[in-house]
Every structure is written in C-alpha cells, then in structure tokens.
Structure 1
Amino acid sequence: MPAAPEAAVLALGRFAAGLRHTPPPAAVADALLLRTVDTIAAQLHGVRGGHARLLLQLLDAPGRFPVWGTPHRRALRDAVAIDAALAHATYFEDGSRFTGGHPGSAVIPAALLLAAERGASGAQLIAAIAAGYEVFLWLGRALYPATVRRGFQSTAILAAPATAAAAAVLLDLDATQAAHAIAIACSQGAGLKEALRCVDSQPLQVGRSSEGGLLAARLAALGATGSPEILEKGFVRGFAGELEAAALDLGAGLGTHWSLDETYVKLHGGCRGNHAPVDAALALVAQHGLAPAAIAGIAVAVDSVTRAAAIEPPANAFEAQSSIGFSVAVALLHGDAAPPRFDAATLADGAVQALMRRIHVAADTTLDAGYPLTRPALVRFTLHDGRVLQQRLDFARGEPELPLDSGHVLRKYDGIAPALLGATQAAALRAQLLALPAAPAGACDALCALLASPSTDPTPSP
C-alpha cells in the first residue's frame, strides 16, 4: 500500500525552516530586495494619501517601532497592522495574477519590523521574506480564483499564513514549529472583496491578518500546536471549495521552483485589473497619433473576474482606484494613470467625467478561457471620423512576460520617499536597502530608524 501523502502544512513548515540555513538563490534575493523597496514606496504613498490618520487613532499601543513615513511609534503588533494596511491602502504594491493578491504588503512590513526587534541581519530578513512570499503564492494558487468568486479577498486571507512563515524564519523555529505556526495562522486572517468599496477601512483586514500571522508564529514558539490537516480540511476547503482542497499539492517544487517569478510590479495606480486596459488604450493613442477629442466612444472588454472587481462608475476617489473607466480616461487625458491622479479633484474634473461617459466596460466570457494564465483586455475606439481601432493585450506592463527593470522600482521610490522622509534621509534609506544582503546583525533596526519621518504631520497632502 502506498504511503499516505504528507500534509501540506508540514511541507510548508519544512520549507520555511530550511531557509534559516540555506538562503534563497541570488536572483531571488535580488528580486526580493527590489520588492522591499517597492513595498516601502507603496506604504509611504499610503501615508501620503492620508490613510494613516484613522489607523493611528485606532491602534495606539506605545512602543519603539515606527509607523513608516510618520514620526509616530507603536508596539510591534500595532506597527505591523498599521504598516501592512498602509502598504495596501492605495493598491500600488506588487501582486500576482495567479493568486489575485499582493504578497508585498502582506509580508514585508511584518518581516522588517520583526527583524528589527530580533536584531536580524539583512540576509536573515531576505530569507524570511522569501519564506513569506512563497507560502503566500503557493497557497494563493490553490485558492484562486475560486476564493474570489466566493466573495473573499485573497490578500487578507493569505497574509496570516504568509506572515507566520516569515516570522518562523526570524524566530528560528524548526520545521515542526514552523508548520504549527502556519497552521495556527490559517484561522487568523479573513477579508471580503465587497470591503474594497471602502478603502478607508478595507486595508485594515490585510493589516490584521498580517498581525495574526505574527501572533501565530509567536504562539507556536511557545509550544502551541495547529492541526496538521488544516489546509486540506479547513483553509482551502473553506475559502475555495471541495475541488480545490482535493487537488491540493504543495510539496512538489518548493524551494526549487520560485513562484516569485510569477509576480508583477505596478506601473500605474489603482487596481491591477485597470492596467491592461490602460496600456491598450495608450498603445492605440501612440500608434495612431490620436487626441482624446477624436474618440467618440471606447469599449473595454475584460474577463469576468476583472469586471466583477471593477466599480463603474466610481462615486468617490476611493472607488476610482477600482474603476477601469476612470483609469483609462485619466491616462488618455494626462498621459499616465499615476497614483496621484486618483484623487477627488481629478474625479470631479469635467473633462474626465465627459470622457468617462464615453467609456463602456463589460465582461467578455471568451476572455475567461486562459485566466489567470493571461489577464487580457480588448479596447476598441470608435472615432468621430467613422474608423474603428482596437488593441488586445494579454498582459499589463510589469507582468513577468513584460517586466519592468529595476530602475522603474527605484524611480517609483525616489518619486515618493523624499516628500515624507526628506531628500537626505530618503537617499540614506535607499542606500541601506540596496546594501541589505551584506548588512550585519542589527542592520534592520537601523533601517527602521530611517523609515520614521522627521515631520510632525503624519498625513501630508499629495
């Protein structure tokens, strides 16, 4: 009789614990270094957009850990929850079309803050982030897209077990303890897609989930246990369904195939589903030398999962982040859909509103066939002169198939950080981040010190 298959959480625990002694490949470490820079930029943009104010009032336990981009400090748990929420607040962090989620905001704030507490080296921090990313991405593949169709938000569900895996590395848990940490964390995170309509509260579900993963790892370090079949009989079955649970196979490839290679970096602001339509619309303009005034109507077709997440038309600047119509209109009028465009003034602009009324966004079920291997958009312009032009893109820029170079991530950081940290401090932080692989024990505490803003205003205007 063949041996029973190993419980998936044991494989994840063994993988995470192994990273304490065997670092990820150099290419993976380099990519994670840039994702750390990217996530910090996204978090600082969340502060710049005013999203810190309510969280600072709500989570006020005193401590020494910075709420990045502000002069405020909190106890570790509150700092983790706030910084993770802020990194997710403007949807400017990295993501994966195979999970529908955002590993950077889920993992990196918690890992960096815990690394500071533990006096970790740069290499230890990168190993922890590697563990968190891979657990997020492997579990996310098992859940997605079924979990979104059931109404859940991937990032909030996955942040807890992913953070637990990262924390297990920094807490020096062995394979069994790490498996228990991940198992306990599986019941510490939750989130709903409907909450995305309220961006002043929705990011907290990601922050709380990440905090829950930290608690789970610390509980496992004290000797607590989690169910060895929590993934097969609870987590995947509950969040995705029976078929997904039956097909769960997480052991093969862990540590040899790195799912990080399947993630994207964002070029535009707003939800990822907006980006391929924006790229397709800008491509048509560039190819044909068009001005927006020449366009009588625009039809945007996307897959059904993307359309279900879109808010058309948006009622406020928060909803605009999930609006394909708004994103396309802004890009055509201004030449980009950069994060600062997603504000109340731009949404109220008469030219933007007029162009939005000429944009129709619909689901095309024929585009579902390859999802999420592709996430296509078909954009059709009808011009006043009678011509009809169309452009199909299977991938937005920044996907693995159309990657952005490291310079893009650094320019993204350089465009955001100095406004909050000051030019000198932002440059010093950037230099220390890029030197992270060789940074000695205690370096992460110094990094956190540079993430604290010298400003007395935690929510400066964009």
Structure 2
Amino acid sequence: MQALSTVSRKADTSPLTVVLGRFVADVRAEHLPSDVTRAASLRVLDTLAAAASGVQQGTHLGLLALLPGDGPSPIWGTAVGRSLRDAVIINSAVSHSTYFEDGCRYTGGHPSSALIPAAFALACERGVCGAELVAAIVAGYEVFLRLGRAIYPSTVERGFQSTAILAAPATAAAAAVLLRLPADRAAHAIAIACSHGAGLKMALKNAGSQPLQVGRSSEGGLLSALYAAQGADGVPEVIEQGFFKAYAANARADLVTHELGLEWGIGQTYLKMHGGCRGNHAPVDTAVALTREYGVVPRDIVSMDVRVDTVTLAAEVAAPANADQARFSIAFSIAVRLLKGDAMPARYTDATLQDPQVRALMARIRVSADTALDAGFPDRRGAVIRVCTTTGNQLEYALDRALGEPEQPYANDDVERKFDLTAGTLYGASADRIKALAMSLPSLQDVKALNDLLQANPT
C-alpha cells in the first residue's frame, strides 16, 4: 500500500480541520488497500438495501410531498427525481428510516446513511467514475468514524444523536473529494460543516420523524462543501474550540489523527440482518443462540430475563405503542425473531405488534441494565439472557457482541441476500445488475450506469 503523504501529525500543531483537509485532498482510490475498496462497494449495496426497506414501508412518501418538484437525482426505488439537495435529504432519511444500515459501536452512529446518498448523488451530477466515488466514501467514513470516536459516548450522554452530528462533516469530506477541492478548501468545507449537523438522542423515541435530522445534516455537509468551493471560509479551530466542547465532555483529539491515512475504518463498521435499533441485536442473537443450544421453543419459555448495558437500555422502549416505537423494543425484536423466523424491518408493523402470540411472549420478557456489562462498552456491547422453562430449567447464554461486527462479519453473499429480500420487488429484473455494478464500483467508468437502474420497476 502507498501511504498518503500529507497526513503525518508528528510535531504538527495545525488545527484538526487543516489536518483533515490535507488528508481528504490526498485520498485516491488507487492508493487504497483492496479490502477497503471492497468494503466501500459492499456498503453501497447495503445502503441501497436499507433504503429499499424504507421505501417498502412508505417512509419516503411524507418527504416527497414536503419537497415537491421534479429533478435529475432519483429517489431510490421510486419513479421520481428531485433536485440534488432534496434527493440527498430524502435518500439519506429513508436509508436511515428502518435502522437497517451499517453502524459503528465506537461512535454510536451510522455512517452509510449519513454520507453515501449525498456522495452518490453528487458523483452522478458530476459524472465521475466509480473509483472516485469510492475514494469519496472512504474519506467520508474516516472523518465520521474518527470524529465519532473522539466524542463518543459522551455525546450521547449529553443528549445528542451521533449520526446526525457527524453526518455534516463526513458528507462535507466526501463532497470535497468529488469536487476535487485542494487541501485548504477541503479544510474549510469540514470547518463550515461542523455547524450544520444537528440531532437529539430523544428524537429516536419517534422513528417516524427522527430520520429527517440525519437527512438535513447530510444536506448541510453538502452545502458546506459547495460553499467552500465558492470561496467561503470556516474557522480552522472549530473542532477543538467548538465541536468538541459542544458535543463531548472529554473529547479525544488524538483519536482523530492516530494513523490517519494508514489505518482505515470502513471495514470496521458492522452490518445488520435484523431491523430496529442496533441495541436490540445482541439480545436477539443471544436469544436465538440460547434456543438453539438448548432446543427451546417459544411455548417453553415461562420468563426471559435480558440484561444489557446502560447505554443500550437508554434507547429501549419497554412498552411500544406503535411500529415506530417497536424498532427500539428489545422484547418485541426477540419475540418476532423467535416466533416469525426473522426480525427484518418488514416485521416492524402495527399488525405484528398486536399479534396475540407476539404480545404474549413480550409479556414474559424483562429487560434491565447490568452495570457489569458497562465495563467493556463499547468494545463489547453484548447481552446476557436467563430463561426459565416450563420444565423448571434455568438456562443462560451470553454474547459479547451482535453478529455482523468485524470480529464476526457477514459475508458478501449475506448482504446480497439482504438486498434481494428488501429490494427485489422494487427493482425486479434489474436487481441482479444493480448488485453486480455496486460490487464492481471501483471499476465503473461512470456511476450513472448504476444510478440509471435505481428507478427501475418503481412502486
């Protein structure tokens, strides 16, 4: 691998925006390791699957009505297009709407929905090749993940949603690559964007409206890069003197620059095969493992005691009143997976929530915090489950992490199957071609070849 030449921070007292601007301006696909470019391609396909899940559930309809007008940028999985800015808002929000996209346990955020829709739309507008889009996505991920590590979990403890907070500077970084901004302009793009990410953790209590804060923050990052390209300046010290002070009590600036340009974070994000909040997934995987290990079926369960860390419990909706709240219900997610065979986003409906079998099993599941699990957070974000059976057996099972984390990643075939299950009915005969082009993204001469398929067989 050829290391990026401009990111050394030995004895460097430059503001972080300047360091990141130099890094972003120097990112080239041909300098990236092959596993990094493959990870970017896989996350594009995964994001399209997440967006398709949102369209299948109609989460795009309100925003389409709110942001009318035709435009050249497609709203994925539909027959319509919008302006660049509106397409970024809608596709980003919809990609986040069923919480089916990737994420990172060290940031508490979801980089793909935060920046891939914007990078893809801008790449199509500018007619760039797939390799340039890959470079932009990788650069955006680094900014997202490094700033996220620096402020997490303090930012969540302060009440912010890290995905929305990080979406703006990450999108600005990705856009800077596509706009081919020099290092000083890229630095200003990131600096301006630090003021344009906004989102509250409490908003997650209503999954119907919360994704808009991610879409708007991504749009803010795009506008910041375009503004910087016109010559607008940001404040170079805004990360140290503003962003960190606002969003964390103990920000770690060293985590932003450590091995920058030498180590790449995109392959360290997790991928999902269940719907709902990531905090639900370790409990779901633990419950499945327990039932398989001991041959337990739902009717055998008298009670189930689920223990999680306190951060996970903070997002829990113990008694969901509707499908949106069910996305944050550990009991609902476990019950659906054990009774229905999967916990895909399509299961998170009002009808399923009212299913008598689901309600009966949920009533036998108790979720609580175990401070012992906090000791390993966020490196470990697991669950411990104890089950009492009708025969009087007391069973226990524990997992350190949900499946799909880098320690136990899903295979490419798993993600392609996820795309088939969520997007097959939207794209029909084009689905296989979309998969092939997404997975060969670094070699595409023009990303429009993929873009043109994303309005095929719309609903």
Q: TM class by shorter-chain length?
A: over 0.9
CA offset at residue 21 of structure 1? 7.2
8 Å CA contact retained: 1:294, 1:383? yes
2:245 to 231, 237, 241: 237
Distance 2:455 2:267 in 1: 31
8 Å CA contact retained: 1:292, 1:332? yes
Structure 2 match to 1:363: 369
8 Å CA contact retained: 2:29, 2:134? no
Name stretches of at least 5 consecutive residues in structure 2 with no aligned partner: 1-9
Q: Secondary structure at the match of 2:103?
A: coil
CA offset at residue 336 of structure 1? 2.1
- The AA in structure 2 aligned to 1:429 is I
TM-score, normalisation: structure 1: 0.95
Distance 1:406 1:398 in 2: 11
Structure 1 match to 2:22: 14
8 Å CA contact retained: 2:129, 2:444? yes
Structure 2 match to 1:288: 294
The equivalences for 1:73-84 within 5 A come to: 73-84=81-92
The equivalences for 1:97-108 within 5 A come to: 97-108=105-116
1:397 to 403, 417, 437: 403
8 Å CA contact retained: 1:143, 1:244? yes
2:447 to 444, 449, 455: 444
The equivalences for 1:253-292 within 5 A come to: 253-292=259-298
CA offset at residue 410 of structure 1? 0.6
CA offset at residue 248 of structure 1? 4.6
CA offset at residue 437 of structure 1? 1.2
Q: Secondary structure at the match of 2:94?
A: helix
Structure 2 match to 1:134: 142
CA offset at residue 252 of structure 1? 2.4
8 Å CA contact retained: 2:70, 2:80? no
Q: Secondary structure at the match of 2:92?
A: helix
Q: Secondary structure at the match of 1:30?
A: helix
- The AA in structure 2 aligned to 1:359 is I
Q: Secondary structure at the match of 1:12?
A: helix
CA offset at residue 240 of structure 1? 1.1
CA offset at residue 5 of structure 1? 2.2
Q: Secondary structure at the match of 1:223?
A: coil
The equivalences for 1:130-279 within 5 A come to: 130-241=138-249, 243-244=250-251, 247-279=253-285
Distance 1:248 1:80 in 2: 31
Q: Secondary structure at the match of 1:100?
A: coil
- The AA in structure 1 aligned to 2:205 is R
8 Å CA contact retained: 1:302, 1:376? yes
Find out whether 1:387 has 2:390 as its counterpart: no
Distance 1:47 1:438 in 2: 28
Distance 2:344 2:60 in 1: 20
Runs of 4+ in 1 over 3 A off after TM superposition: 20-23
Structure 2 match to 1:372: 378
8 Å CA contact retained: 1:61, 1:78? no
8 Å CA contact retained: 1:68, 1:453? no
The equivalences for 1:328-343 within 5 A come to: 328-343=334-349
- 1:150-195 Cα deviation digits (max 9, x unpaired): 1110101100000000000000001111111001000011001111
1:53 to 53, 61, 67: 61
Distance 1:21 1:357 in 2: 51
Distance 2:451 2:12 in 1: 46
- The AA in structure 1 aligned to 2:374 is D
8 Å CA contact retained: 1:376, 1:394? yes
- The AA in structure 2 aligned to 1:173 is L
Structure 2 match to 1:72: 80
Q: Secondary structure at the match of 2:376?
A: coil
Structure 2 match to 1:407: 413
Distance 1:403 1:454 in 2: 32
8 Å CA contact retained: 2:383, 2:400? yes
Find out whether 1:454 has 2:457 as its counterpart: yes
Number of residue pairs the alignment of both structures matches: 450
Name stretches of at least 5 consecutive residues in structure 1 with no aligned partner: 458-462
- The AA in structure 1 aligned to 2:199 is G
Q: Secondary structure at the match of 2:160?
A: coil
> CA separation of 1:255/1:3 partners in 2, compared to 1, >3 Å: closer, same or farther?
closer
Find out whether 1:41 has 2:44 as its counterpart: no
CA RMSD between the two structures: 1.4
Distance 1:437 1:153 in 2: 32
Distance 1:292 1:83 in 2: 38
8 Å CA contact retained: 1:11, 1:250? no
CA offset at residue 293 of structure 1? 1.1
- The AA in structure 2 aligned to 1:348 is Q
Distance 1:305 1:25 in 2: 34
- 1:365-385 Cα deviation digits (max 9, x unpaired): 111001001102001101122
Distance 1:379 1:261 in 2: 29
**Percent sequence identity over aligned pairs:** 55
8 Å CA contact retained: 1:12, 1:179? yes
Distance 2:423 2:300 in 1: 38
Q: Secondary structure at the match of 2:379?
A: coil
Distance 2:45 2:12 in 1: 43
